[in-house]
């Protein structure tokens, strides 16, 4: 495990949610040193720390099997943590049983009660807590999810998207402190998923509850959440606002899992307050110190493909920056809005370049000699001890 | 004798009423009902005339014989020198022996549709108890035996089994084995039970006795208890006896009406005394000497199981050869040594000296005159009486 | 869910199908039902018809004289008058045994379905293992278990549950216990089938929605297992009401049930009309009770 991962998780300041109450993170959900080891000895969640401010929307993002569901189940009370504590609104709820926690879950498979109609499914939590005025609350909730006309149907008579909204309504109606969503959209087709994402986000803004949303779809995480926690192997690799995670990944896993990255080995020449200067296969490049996440004398210099500019050999570049000559185009694929190149560098590595089809530059062909460059402020530098390919496959399978 | 030959396989292991009576009875009932005439019309009587309802005897050409007898009622057929194989060897007749009679009434239910409409039951000989034999003879379902082909029957049949009202000259029937109905008790638990009225009243027996499910056995004793004669009683006496029985039932004196494994319950102490068949008791005594047979003060009921040739049997002569064979004293002694019931053959006692001397003086196998002086027989019932009394009996034992 | 995707080709084929093939499909349905219909006709309708006919014969008939069809509906009245006690006893014993089976069977099926883990199938085999021996032998072995000198009675006497002179054999307790034992698998198997189908996540969902485990059981597990409860109770009650082996072997003369009466009338008393009237009555009674029960339980609505 990269030593930086845990510190990243706890050290990163949680970005303010749109309408975080004055209580700040104290009113929210806090997981401290949470560990889950299953009976078979497998550690699914390892010493996990997480702070979720009240009213925020956090997405847990990570490859299959990284412990997302396990984490949610511990918060819901369906799984007993091996160690660590869970606090909610300042109260330790670690030892409370599931039915005693002000937490509701939208299950991965909805888990709607097949013997109850939609109305009774939604009313279930209210009835258990003997809340008054069930009728009007359920009606209002069904209206919110636009299912008022289906109230007397059984779950099996609804479409997948409708069932999903019932599951959401059934949990939301209880106005829990935290709403847990475990890949609720996983089974939907793309179009329905997009509209449901928007709907869930709208509802969250409307009701102002804390949402914890598990997904392994990075696009879903980035569009919906205020904060994204990237999980890998039972720990949180990095936590932050979507743009920050994308622009300034702290580990090779995050760099590869969220989008794509070129990672090139470099040796640190000097460090100053503002920039770190590195030698990249004989070329001197600079990376802002704030984006340098290694103390060693070597590091992975990272740059997103769309940040790399491609040009004629020796041509003037539009912007000053790190210039890397000597590339040869080895593959070209035209995808409409952009052209994606693979460029073989003198040291043998192939770099990815996405070039916007603005019409200002011409298209290059395979075998042409080209020069690459990028603005130093877009580059980042990662620990050389991390696997440069970490998260590559996971990121692409989405 | 090999040890495994000695122990079970005797009739009494399953007792006169077989274990499987229940299932068979239900199947038979279902079938017989299904075979009733379909439209809502009446059903004719089942009586037949044996003179017209008979088949050509194929005995000369087909040297075979099909028998239905009670379970465990013959010496081991595997024994090459047993009575069964000796018969086959000396006569050349192949005997297909079925031990498929578990219960008189059940067997009746099985065959009544065929015999009642003059159809063959594919048996040349069946073995049934007196009253059922009487009923079938009365219905005309049984063929008369050729007197000259069964000379030993008429020579050797013991006197006490002659002159029965339902077949005075043994024209239709030949006793296979006889037995006595009396009282058995377990001496490990109670003192001797000397009479039937004691059985029904003694307080230390309360809830720990059984009576037999055979109406004529039990009601014979009940009639005696109320001072009537089973051989000749009036309807009033009958209802006195039924009332006495009902009292015993409602008092809880009686635990059950039993037809099977009552001796097992007697042996393990669930019951301490019961009405019992003599052969069963002798069998049980081998394992548990505490079990005793008593000749009750009321006397003993003497019955026999009779070989009968049903209508449309195709091997009557072979069946008669079988009867005559088993009335040889020597053969009868070998059979009696095994089944332990009363041997109906005169002279078998002398022959028994050679077979098993220890049984010669057993009065339950060879009862002497004195012993038999007190035996009685149940009055023959006509059709209406038997229907009425059997209904009463069924209600008393079941309702 | 891919419902939308599936819906398209399905409607397409339906629309494209000429109406004739649908008719052909209907005929195939009837053809497939033919063997079962013939079977039922032969082995249910015909015997039942003749059973009803027999029950209407003049009850004073006999094999000797024959039976006269007098449409003697009075047989039914006589039969009810004479035998209402064993009738009630049958239903009462069957109901008790069914209740005991339901409680024991539910706990057992629940444990097998949810708690047995990898022992599940072994336990199921053990549940049906008694079927490998004959019904009669099993019932007879209960005679030994409940025997006055047996360890059960000894133990209960030691615990003062039974007095020194009390017994189990030849009491209603033994009959009901025998019934419950013999028909328990008929209860456990449908219950297990129902419980095993229940998604454990539904139970989790209920506790997530503030239901105490007991409430969750009552509101989720129990209603979802109702099909099993209904079929289990029917499969237990119906044969138990008609059973007479347990009463015969484990009961005393005072525990005789309607099955004993029917057998006695058919076999011993040789009184077919009375026996047939009793059989028809028992059948009608059970069918009526089942119909009412199924209506009340509302099984049609379940899933
Ligand atoms: N009951 C269990 N016993 C043992 N191991 C388990 C158990 N439940 C889950 N695991 C393991 O723990 C790991 C994390 O499981 P979890 O369900 O939390 O993954 P996830 O991140 O939700 O994955 P997915 O995206 O596929 O849903 C997996 O490797 C899984 O195999
Ligand atoms: Mg999961």
Local confidence band at B4 (pLDDT 50, 70, 90 cut-offs): very low
Can you tell me whether residue A29 is helix, strand or coil? strand
Residues of A whose CB is below 8 A from C202: 111, 113-114
Residue nearest to ligand 1 atom 11, measured at CA: A44
Q: Where are the domains of chain A?
A: 5-247, 257-397
The yes or no reply on domain C83-302 and CATH 1.10.3720.10 is: yes
Q: Ligand 1: does its nearest atom lie under 6 Å from the Cβ of A69?
A: yes
Note whether C202 contacts A113, CB cutoff 8 Å. Answer: yes
Burial class (CB in 10 A: 0-12, 13-18, 19+), C136: middle
Cβ contacts (< 8 Å) between C148 and chain B: which residues? 208, 269-270
Across the interface, do C209 and A188 touch by the CB < 8 Å criterion?
Answer: no
Of the pLDDT bands very low, low, confident and very high (cuts 50, 70, 90), residue A26 is low
What does the mean pLDDT of chain B come to? 87
Query: Which of B282, B261, B281 has the alpha carbon at shortest distance from B271?
Result: B261
Q: What is the pLDDT of residue A208?
A: 86
Among the CATH numbers 3.30.413.10, 3.40.50.720, 3.40.50.150, 3.40.190.10, which is that of B179-301? 3.40.190.10
- Ligand with smallest separation from the Cα of A46: 1
Q: For chain C, what is the largest distance between any 2 Cα atoms, rounded to a whole number of angstroms?
A: 82
Instruction: Report how far apart, in Å, the C-alpha atoms of B342 and of each of B102, B247, B362, C150 are.
Output: 19, 33, 10, 35
Q: pLDDT category, B155, cuts 50, 70, 90?
A: very high
Query: Comparing C-alpha atoms, which of C192, C194, C218 is closest to residue C206?
Result: C218
pLDDT band at A317 (very low <50, low <70, confident <90, very high): low
Rounded distance between C-alpha atoms, residue B230 and residue B293, angstroms: 21
Verify C-A touch: 3 or more CB pairs within 8 A.
Answer: yes
Q: Is the pLDDT of residue C262 over 60?
A: yes
H helix or E strand, kind and range, residue A222: helix A218-224
Q: Which chains touch A (3 or more CB pairs under 8 A)?
A: C
State the pLDDT confidence band at C23, using cuts at 50, 70 and 90. low
Whether A314 has a pLDDT exceeding 80, the answer reads no
Average pLDDT over residues A20-35: 70
- Say how many Å lie between the CA of residue A95 and the centre of ligand 2: 23
Residue B309 clears pLDDT 80, i.e. is over it: yes
Question: For residue B192, what pLDDT band results from cuts at 50, 70 and 90?
Answer: very high
Q: Report the alpha-carbon distance of residue A146 to residue C73 in Å, rounded.
A: 64
Q: A186 CB under 6 A from ligand 1? A: no
Listed residue (A220, A226, A219) closest to A54, CA to CA: A226
C11–chain A nearest CA distance, Å: 16
Nearest ligand, measured from the Cα of A182? 2
Q: How far is CA C82 from CA A319, C74, C253, in A?
A: 112, 12, 16
User: Across residues C159-188, what is the average pLDDT?
Assistant: 91
Fold of A257-397: OB fold (Dihydrolipoamide Acetyltransferase, E2P) (2.40.50)
The whole-angstrom separation of Cα A287 and Cα A294 is 12
Kindly tell me if the per-residue pLDDT of B62 is higher than 90. yes
Asked if A378 and A243 count as a contact pair (C-beta separation under 8 A), the reply is no
Is residue A40 within 6 Å of ligand 1 at its C-beta?
Answer: yes
Residues whose CB falls within 8 Å of the CB of residue C45, separated by 6 or more in sequence, listed in order: none
Look at strands A262-271 and A298-303 and give their pairing. Answer: antiparallel
CB contact under 8 A, A99 and C223: no
Q: Which residue has the higher pLDDT, C107 or A13?
A: C107
The residue whose C-alpha atom lies closest to atom 12 belonging to ligand 1 is A44
| Topology at the third CATH level for domain A5-247 | Rossmann fold (3.40.50)
pLDDT of residue A362: 83
Q: Which of B70, B145, B74, B110 is nearest to B313 (CA)?
A: B145
**Over residues B342-359, mean pLDDT:** 92
Task: For residue C42, give how far its alpha carbon lies from the nearest alpha carbon of chain B (Å).
Answer: 10
Q: State the residue for tokens 């029965």.
A: B164
The verdict on ipTM greater than 0.90 is: no
Strands (E), A89-168: 91-92, 103-106
Among A60, A63, A70, name the best residue to mutate to test ligand 1's pocket (greatest count of ligand atoms within 8 A of Cβ): A70
The alpha-carbon gap from C19 to the nearest alpha carbon of chain A, in Å, equals: 27
| CB of residue A46 inside a 6 A radius of ligand 1 | no
Which of A39, A40, A42 to mutate to test ligand 1, by most ligand atoms within 8 A of the CB atom? Answer: A42
CA distance A6 to B389: 96
pLDDT band at A394 (very low <50, low <70, confident <90, very high): low
A42 lines ligand 1 (CB under 6 A): yes
Domain ranges for chain B: 15-28+56-177+307-357, 179-301
Q: What residue ranges in chain A does DSSP mark as E strands?
A: 29-37, 43-52, 57-61, 83-88, 91-92, 103-106, 178-182, 210-215, 227-232, 235-240, 262-271, 275-280, 283-288, 298-303, 309-312, 322-334, 338-344, 350-356, 369-374, 380-383
CATH 3.30.420.40 fits B15-28+56-177+307-357, yes or no: no
CB contact under 8 A, C149 and B270: yes
Q: Is A398 in the pocket of ligand 1 (CB under 6 A)?
A: no
Measured by CA distance, the residue closest to atom 17 of ligand 1 is A69
Beta-carbon neighbours within 5 Å of ion ligand 2: A 69
**Cβ <8 Å between B43 and C67:** yes
Residue C250 in tokens: 């484990």
Mean pLDDT of C130-155: 88
- Whether the Cβ atoms of residue B283 and residue B340 lie closer than 8 Å to each other: yes
Mean pLDDT, residues A18-28: 48
- Measured from the alpha carbon of residue A79, the closest ligand is 1
Give yes or no for residue B3 having a pLDDT over 50: no
The CA distance from C140 to B19, in Å, is 10
* Radius of gyration over every alpha carbon of chain C, rounded to an integer in angstroms: 25
**B387: which chain C residues are within 8 Å (Cβ-Cβ)?**
60, 62, 269-271
What would the pLDDT profile of B231-264 be if each residue is shown by its tens digit? Answer: 999 999 999 999 999 999 888 899 888 877 788 8
User: Are B255 and C268 within 8 A, CB to CB?
Assistant: no
Residue written as tokens 């047989």? C75
* Interval between CA A231 and ligand 1 midpoint (Å): 13
- Tell me the average pLDDT across B11-40: 46
Would the pLDDT of A179 be above 50?
Answer: yes
Cα distances from A40 to residues A36, A37, A72, A235, C201, in angstroms, run 11, 8, 20, 19, 21
How far away, in angstroms, is C194 Cα from ligand 2 center? 27
The per-residue pLDDT for range A209-260, each reduced to its tens digit, is 899 999 888 889 988 999 999 999 999 999 999 999 999 999 999 999 998 9
**Nearest chain B Cα distance for residue C30, angstroms:** 27
Q: Which of B204, B246, B211, B254 is nearest to B226 (CA)?
A: B246
Average pLDDT over residues C235-264: 91
CA-closest candidate to residue B152, choices B332, B285, B301: B332
CA distance B285 to A132: 80
What's the rounded mean pLDDT across residues C187-198? 95
Neighbours of chain C (3+ CB pairs under 8 A): A, B
Whether the per-residue pLDDT at C5 is higher than 60: the answer is: no
Q: Cβ distance C235 to C208 under 8 Å? A: no
Mean pLDDT (whole number) for C5-10: 38
How far is Cα B23 from Cα A114, in angstroms, rounded to an integer?
44
User: How many CA atoms are closer than 13 Å to the CA of A147, on its beta-carbon side?
Assistant: 29
List, in order, residues 6 or more apart from A73 with CB less than 8 Å away.
A79
Please tell me the number of the ligand nearest to residue A41's CA. 1
Q: Give how far A20 is from chain C: nearest CA, Å.
A: 25
Query: Span C106-122, mean pLDDT?
Result: 93
* pLDDT, chain A, mean: 87
Which two structure tokens, joined as six digits, stand for B302?
């003497």
Cβ-nearest to C210 among A99, A107, A111: A99
The CA distance from B324 to the nearest CA of chain C, in Å, is: 32
Cα dist from A49 to A2, A78, A161, A229, C143, whole Å: 16, 19, 33, 11, 66
pLDDT surpasses 50 at B24: no
On whether the CB atoms of residues B32 and C50 are closer than 8 A, the answer is no
By C-alpha distance, the chain B residue nearest C43 is B34
The whole-angstrom separation of Cα C251 and Cα C248 is 6
Q: Model confidence over C42-65: pLDDT tens digits? A: 888 888 888 898 898 888 888 888
Q: Give the model's pLDDT for residue A144.
A: 83
**What is the DSSP-derived secondary structure letter of residue C221?**
I
Q: What is the pLDDT of residue B40?
A: 65
Contact A142, A113 (CB under 8 A): no
Q: Which residue has the tokens 């990243």?
A: A8
Answer whether A397 contacts ligand 1 (Cβ < 6 A): no
Query: How much is the pLDDT for A14?
Result: 39
Q: Which residues of B touch C59 (CB under 8 A)?
A: none
Q: Are A46 and A233 in contact (CB under 8 A)?
A: yes
Of the candidates B181, B247, B175, which has an alpha carbon nearest to the alpha carbon of residue B218? B181
Percent of chain A with pLDDT over 90: 63
What's the helix, strand, coil split of chain B in %, to 5? Answer: 45, 20, 40
Q: Which of B218, B364, B197 is nearest to B301 (CA)?
A: B218
Nearest to B390 among C57, C67, C268 (CB): C268
The whole-chain average pLDDT of chain C stands at: 86
- Residues A51, A28 contacting (CB under 8 angstroms): yes
CA distance A234 to A81: 13
Task: For A121-170, write each residue's pLDDT tens digit.
Answer: 999 999 999 999 999 999 999 988 888 999 999 999 998 888 988 998 99
User: Whole-angstrom Cα distance, residue B110 to residue C164?
Assistant: 45
* Closest residue of chain A to C301, computed from CA coordinates: A115
Tell me which DSSP letter residue B329 carries.
Answer: H
CB C124 within 8 A of CB C184: no
Contact C201 A97 (CB under 8 A): no
B259/B105 Cα distance (integer angstroms): 12
* Backbone torsion region of residue B92, taken as left when φ is above 0, otherwise alpha when ψ lies between -120 and 50, otherwise beta: left
In whole angstroms, give the CA distance from residue A132 to residue A127. Answer: 8
């Amino acid at each position: 495990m990269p030593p930086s991962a845990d510190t990243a998780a706890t050290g990163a300041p949680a970005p303010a949610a749109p309408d975080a109450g004055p209580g700040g993170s104290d009113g929210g959900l806090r997981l401290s040193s949470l560990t889950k080891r299953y009976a078979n000895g497998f550690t699914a969640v390892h010493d996990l720390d997480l702070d979720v401010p009240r009213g925020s929307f956090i997405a847990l993002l990570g490859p299959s099997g990284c412990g997302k569901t396990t984490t949610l189940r511990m918060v819901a009370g369906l799984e007993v943590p091996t160690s660590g504590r869970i606090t909610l609104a300042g109260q330790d709820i670690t030892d409370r049983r599931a039915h005693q926690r002000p937490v509701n879950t939208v299950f991965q498979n909805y888990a709607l009660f097949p013997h109850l109609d939609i109305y009774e499914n939604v009313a279930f939590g209210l009835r258990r807590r003997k809340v008054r005025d069930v009728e009007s609350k359920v009606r209002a909730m069904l209206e919110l999810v636009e299912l008022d006309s289906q109230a007397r149907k059984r779950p099996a008579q609804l479409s997948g998207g409708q069932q999903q909204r019932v599951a959401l309504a059934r949990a939301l109606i209880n106005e829990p402190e935290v709403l847990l969503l475990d890949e609720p959209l996983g089974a939907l087709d793309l179009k329905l998923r997009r509209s449901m994402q928007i709907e869930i986000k709208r509802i969250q803004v409307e009701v102002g509850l804390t949402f914890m949303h598990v997904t392994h779809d990075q696009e879903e995480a980035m569009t919906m959440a205020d904060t994204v926690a990237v999980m890998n192997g039972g720990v949180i690799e990095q936590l932050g606002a979507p743009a920050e995670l994308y622009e300034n990944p702290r580990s090779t896993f995050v760099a590869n899992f969220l989008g794509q990255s070129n990672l090139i080995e470099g040796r640190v020449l000097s460090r100053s307050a503002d920039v770190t200067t590195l030698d990249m296969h004989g070329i001197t490049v600079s990376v802002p110190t704030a984006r340098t996440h290694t103390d060693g004398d070597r590091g992975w210099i990272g740059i997103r493909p769309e940040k790399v500019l491609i040009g004629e050999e020796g041509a003037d570049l539009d912007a000053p920056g790190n210039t890397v000559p000597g590339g040869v185009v080895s593959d070209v694929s035209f995808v409409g809005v952009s052209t994606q190149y693979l460029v073989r560098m003198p040291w043998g590595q192939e770099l990815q370049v996405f070039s916007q089809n603005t019409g200002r530059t011409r298209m290059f062909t395979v075998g042409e000699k080209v020069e690459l460059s990028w603005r130093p402020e877009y580059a980042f530098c990662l620990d050389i001890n991390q696997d440069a390919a970490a998260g590559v496959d996971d990121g692409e399978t989405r | 004798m090999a040890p495994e030959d000695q122990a079970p396989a005797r009739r009494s292991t399953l007792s006169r009423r077989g274990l499987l009576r229940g299932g068979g009875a239900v199947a038979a009932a279902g079938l017989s009902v299904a075979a009733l005439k379909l439209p809502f019309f009446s059903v004719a009587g089942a009586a037949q005339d044996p003179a017209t309802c008979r088949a050509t005897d194929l005995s000369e050409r087909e040297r075979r014989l099909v028998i239905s007898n009670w379970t465990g009622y013959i010496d081991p057929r595997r024994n090459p020198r047993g009575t069964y194989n000796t018969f086959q060897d000396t006569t050349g007749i192949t005997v297909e022996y079925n031990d498929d009679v578990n219960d008189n009434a059940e067997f009746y239910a099985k065959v009544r549709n065929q015999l009642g409409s003059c159809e063959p039951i594919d048996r040349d000989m069946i073995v049934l108890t007196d009253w059922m034999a009487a009923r079938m003879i009365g219905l005309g379902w049984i063929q008369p035996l050729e007197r000259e082909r069964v000379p030993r029957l008429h020579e050797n049949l013991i006197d006490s089994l002659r002159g029965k009202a339902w077949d005075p000259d043994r024209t239709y029937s030949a006793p296979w084995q006889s037995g006595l109905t009396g009282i058995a008790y377990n001496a490990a638990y109670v003192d001797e039970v000397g009479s039937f009225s004691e059985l029904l009243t003694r307080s230390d027996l309360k809830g720990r006795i059984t009576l037999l499910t055979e109406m004529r056995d039990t009601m014979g004793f009940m009639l005696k208890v109320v001072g009537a004669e089973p051989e000749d009683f009036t309807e009033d006496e009958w209802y006195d006896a039924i009332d006495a029985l009902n009292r015993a039932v409602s008092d809880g004196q009686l635990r059950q009406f039993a037809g099977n494994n009552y001796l097992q319950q007697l042996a393990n102490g669930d019951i301490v005394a019961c009405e019992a068949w003599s052969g069963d008791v002798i069998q049980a005594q081998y394992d548990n000497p505490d079990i005793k047979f008593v000749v009750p003060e009321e006397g003993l009921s003497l019955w026999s199981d009779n070989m009968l040739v049903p209508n449309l049997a195709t091997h009557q002569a072979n069946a008669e050869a079988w009867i005559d064979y088993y009335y040889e004293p020597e053969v009868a002694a070998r059979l009696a040594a095994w089944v332990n019931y009363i041997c109906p053959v005169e002279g078998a006692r002398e022959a028994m000296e050679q077979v098993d001397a220890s049984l010669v003086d057993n009065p339950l196998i060879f009862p002497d005159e004195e012993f038999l002086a007190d035996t009685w027989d149940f009055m023959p019932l006509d059709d209406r009486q038997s229907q009425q009394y059997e209904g009463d009996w069924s209600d008393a034992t079941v309702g | 869910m891919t419902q939308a995707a599936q819906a398209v080709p399905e409607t397409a084929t339906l629309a494209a199908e000429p109406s004739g093939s649908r008719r052909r499909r209907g005929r195939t349905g009837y053809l497939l039902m033919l063997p079962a219909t013939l079977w039922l006709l032969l082995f249910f309708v015909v015997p039942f018809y003749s059973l009803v006919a027999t029950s209407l014969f003049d009850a004073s008939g006999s094999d000797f004289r024959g039976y006269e069809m007098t449409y003697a509906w009075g047989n039914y009245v006589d039969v009810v008058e004479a035998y209402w006690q064993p009738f009630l006893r049958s239903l009462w014993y069957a109901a008790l045994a069914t209740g005991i089976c339901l409680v024991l069977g539910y706990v057992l099926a629940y444990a097998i379905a949810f708690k047995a883990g990898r022992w599940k199938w072994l336990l199921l085999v053990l549940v049906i293992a008694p079927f490998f021996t004959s019904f009669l032998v099993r019932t007879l072995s209960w005679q030994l278990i409940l025997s006055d000198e047996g360890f059960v009675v000894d133990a209960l006497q030691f615990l003062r549950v039974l007095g020194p002179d009390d017994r189990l054999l030849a009491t209603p307790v033994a009959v009901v216990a025998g019934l419950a034992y013999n028909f328990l698998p008929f209860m456990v198997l449908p219950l297990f089938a129902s419980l095993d189908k229940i998604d454990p996540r539904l139970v989790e969902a209920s506790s997530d929605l503030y239901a105490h485990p007991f409430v969750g059981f009552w509101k989720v597990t129990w209603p979802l297992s109702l099909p099993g409860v209904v079929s289990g109770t029917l499969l237990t009650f119906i044969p138990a009401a008609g059973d007479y082996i347990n009463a015969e072997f484990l009961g005393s003369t005072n525990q005789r049930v309607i099955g004993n009466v029917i057998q006695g009338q058919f076999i011993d008393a040789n009184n077919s009309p009375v026996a047939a009237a009793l059989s028809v009555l028992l059948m009608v009674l059970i069918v009526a009770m089942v119909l009412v029960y199924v209506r009340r339980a509302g099984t049609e609505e379940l899933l």
